[in-house]
Structure 1
Amino acid sequence: MAILRSQLEQSEITIYIPPKGDYDTFRDDDHFKEKLKEWGLPTAKKEFWYKELNYQRLVTLKGYETYGNAGEFNTLVIEFQDGNLTCIHPAFLKEMQKGSFGKESLINLEEKDTLEEEAKTINTETVTPVEAPNKEKAAKPSKEPKPKTKKAPKIELPADKVHFTAAVKQFALVYNPFNEENDEVVVLENVQIVQENPIELGLAWCSHSKTLKKFELAPGDLLEFDGKVAAKKMGKGKDAPEDFIIDTPVLYKINNPSKINKK
């Protein structure tokens, strides 16, 4: 009875932010673990701690919402043991798994308030300007305006899932700050969105997931697949071998490729 009463009290004081409507769910265990790795959460866990300053509750991941111009950002949808759903940022849920969560937050909050008060005090102090002695300044030669370089027209990316053709260029490593490790990715070239008016993207990248690894990809392989594309520049790996480095900027990311066909 005491446990049930405690859960009821926690449920009543928890502030829930339920999903606005439909949200994405996990296709299978491989997809679930792939997303956990992307968010920096431990892949061996099925349950996670949701913490406040005076209590903690076990939750499970039900799915995630996507947002941003091309759906490149995620908000997690978690379920409490009483069945209530709420949304939470992946990085915040990751912080809640630390034993120091809560204590850290209070210390940081107090330090922040102190710094803000000091900044207000400094900004309200009046400063008397010092007049500089009059000196004749030498006339500077006028500079000719530099010609403006024309920027390439911005590509309007489709928000929905579309069909792609591409070729495997190479494999690369991207540093993941959530797990402080390098993640292997696939760099694609000659990427085209197949539609009535095809869109040429050039280079793009995607995670080298377990699904893709089943195809044993190699540079030069031609691919067809469905997926979503986002304007997200590929980062660099930390202490990556030369074979896993690409100097050319890769500005687009392919998310959740499916219906993959290797020619």
Structure 2
Amino acid sequence: MNYPFVIGPIVLQDFTSEDELIDRCKEWNLLSNTATKPKTYLYKGYGLTLPCEIVGYVDNMTVVVQFENKQQHCIHPSYLKEMQTASFGQRGATASDTANPVDEVEEEIAELAEVAEVAKEIPKKAVKAKKQVVELPEDKLQMTAIVKEFTTVPNHFSDNDDEVIIYEGVSVEGHDLALDEVWSSHSATLKKLELQVGDRVSFEAKVVAKKLTQHPVKYKINNPAKMKKTTT
């Protein structure tokens, strides 16, 4: 059975890993800050309650969910979050009981028309960008880099911003990866090293494609281990 209300994505941005999916859902307030696994959501509308999972996104304001019949649908993350509440849809229930399903479909299509128009404008750019994504190894890598900057990024689940480090001059042993810059959390462990801008460091870490909020840094190093200062 196909659902007539579905607005499928013209260009779907995939998650590079389950970790990115979890992080993105936290940014969209669709997972708690302590969650370690993705979850199934409920799509409510047109007299239906359908389980669905998030499989990608068009942009930061449009997530893509997939129903059990494999149809994919664009939706605003805040709207999807609202659907998870028990009270969703109760307001105006009397009117909706007699509403024409076709009218409901047309209403949602109108609400998401802007999303569809934006998606139409970016397919070529998005496909080109996707082709240029660096193929990242799954294993931990031996790396060297130079500390470029200490900064902070907003954390919507905390009163304090998250502290991060941006690195430049990145080199990966045994791989020819054009990473340019990477970033990591400025964890308590790293703070013990008392790093300063300009320090060259070596470490082991897994690299994932995750853009730093409000900064043009595309790749993150997860849980850097054995980090030490080096002069070469």
TM-score (norm 1): 0.44
Which structure has the greater CA radius of gyration? Answer: 1
